[in-house]
């Protein structure tokens, strides 16, 4: 393992003003998104949509440090025959790959899930590296409901994340470690705080035990936020204050950066919350974004599967990338949102 090279990639992934585009939707997820805009989810349509984003020069060069790809996408060529990976690289961005294979129910633990895909992962990582991937992503799902999560479910998922991360580093690939505490329930912000804290403490214990070099990793967590069904939603200021407080307690300073997931927040909410955290200042690591929906909802709608709408789709994508780039430096304002 060349830790210096891994650290260089990890630092580039969280460079000031830049963040990560999560374009790794599974076939089922992208179909749901396409259904919402009346577009058939064919291989060509999926390719054309993603190519539209990867060829948005303003966004890719200035605000997108890396792109998480799905297995289908990393092998695809653009309409003109250029590999999509090469288009990403040419823009100065880093290709990455989602390597987990989804979730399964944990026997004996109703309502709790474990992420799978460790079998034969070493062989898959070698092929992805050859194809140009320099980082990977694995998502663990921690749900909050009555009686859950259990400590067993948290431990099982954190151990899987650590095993994945160790395999990535052995393959000279930077692991994005993603323990997502879901915001789907009716829990308040304090419950999210407690569960996220327990998860991160366990995660870093497991990463240490697996001998993962933290300097060659990026953390992709949820923000500390109330569940969507909670009657009392926290303010942007409270979300920022509690998230930063918790991460200072749990995330080692050796980690180069934290790239938040949006987790179902609206476009502007995800941007405003990230900006508020960076405005607090005095952070030992970079705080940026690794958004899927919060970067893509607007360009998807603007494009709507029509070739004549590519420019409009690219404009919408460039706008969201720029807004989040500003937020990653604590320079976003609601006025900038409207002006642009």
Q: Catalytic amino acids?
A: 178, 220
Q: Pairing relation of β-strands 174-181 and 218-219?
A: parallel
E strand map for 99-213: 103-105, 113-115, 135-142, 174-181
How far apart (Å, rounded) are the C-alpha atoms in residues 60 and 318?
8
Instruction: Tell me which long-range contacts 2-5 makes (C-beta under 8 A, separation of at least 24).
Output: 2/172, 3/213, 3/215, 3/216, 5/172
Burial bucket for residue 72 (CB in 10 Å: 0-12, 13-18, 19+): middle
Q: Which residue has the tokens 């054309």?
A: 48
Distance CA 14, CA 86 (A): 21
Which region holds residue 279: left if phi is over 0, alpha if psi is between -120 and 50, else beta?
alpha
**What residues contact residue 199 under an 8 Å CB cut-off, 6+ apart?**
142, 149, 154, 158, 179, 181
How far is residue 94's CA from residue 64's CA, in Å, rounded to a whole number? 9
Chain centre distance of CA 12: 15
Nearest to 165 by CA among 180, 182, 178, 152: 178
Q: Which of 261, 254, 133 is nearest to 196 (CA)?
A: 261
Q: Are 309 and 303 in contact (CB under 8 A)?
A: yes
Is residue 212 within 8 A of residue 166, CB to CB? The reply is: yes
Query: How many angstroms separate the CA atoms of 136 and 175, rounded?
Result: 5
């Amino acid at each position: 393992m060349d830790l210096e090279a891994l650290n260089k990639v990890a630092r580039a992934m969280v460079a000031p003003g830049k963040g990560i585009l999560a374009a790794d939707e599974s076939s089922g997820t992208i179909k749901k998104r396409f259904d919402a805009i009346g577009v058939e989810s064919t291989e060509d349509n999926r390719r054309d949509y993603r190519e539209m984003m990867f060829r948005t020069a303003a966004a890719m060069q200035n605000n997108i440090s890396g792109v998480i790809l799905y297995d289908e996408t990393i092998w695809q060529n653009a309409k003109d025959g250029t590999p999509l990976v090469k288009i990403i690289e040419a823009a100065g961005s880093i290709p990455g790959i989602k390597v987990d294979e989804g979730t399964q129910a944990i026997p004996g633990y109703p309502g709790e899930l474990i992420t799978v895909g460790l079998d034969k992962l070493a062989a898959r990582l070698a092929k992805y590296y050859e194809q140009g991937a320099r980082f990977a992503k694995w998502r663990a799902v921690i749900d909050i409901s009555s009686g859950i999560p259990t400590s067993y479910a948290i431990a099982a998922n954190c151990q899987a994340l650590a095993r994945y991360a160790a395999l990535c580093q052995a393959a000279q690939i930077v692991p994005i470690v993603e323990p997502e505490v879901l915001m789907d329930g009716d829990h308040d912000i304090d419950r999210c705080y407690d569960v996220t804290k327990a998860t991160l403490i366990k995660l870093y214990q497991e990463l240490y035990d697996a001998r993962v070099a933290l300097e060659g990793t990026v953390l992709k967590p949820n923000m500390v936020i109330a569940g969507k069904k909670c009657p009392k939603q926290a303010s942007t200021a409270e979300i920022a204050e509690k998230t930063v407080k918790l991460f200072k307690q749990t995330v080692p300073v050796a980690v180069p950066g934290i790239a938040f997931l949006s987790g179902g927040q609206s476009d502007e909410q995800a941007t405003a919350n990230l900006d508020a955290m960076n405005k607090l200042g005095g952070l030992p690591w970079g705080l940026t974004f690794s958004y899927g929906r919060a970067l893509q909802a607007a360009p998807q709608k603007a494009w709507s599967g029509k070739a004549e709408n590519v420019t409009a789709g690219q404009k919408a994508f460039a706008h969201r990338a720029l807004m989040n780039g500003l937020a990653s430096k604590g320079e976003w304002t609601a006025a900038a949102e409207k002006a642009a």
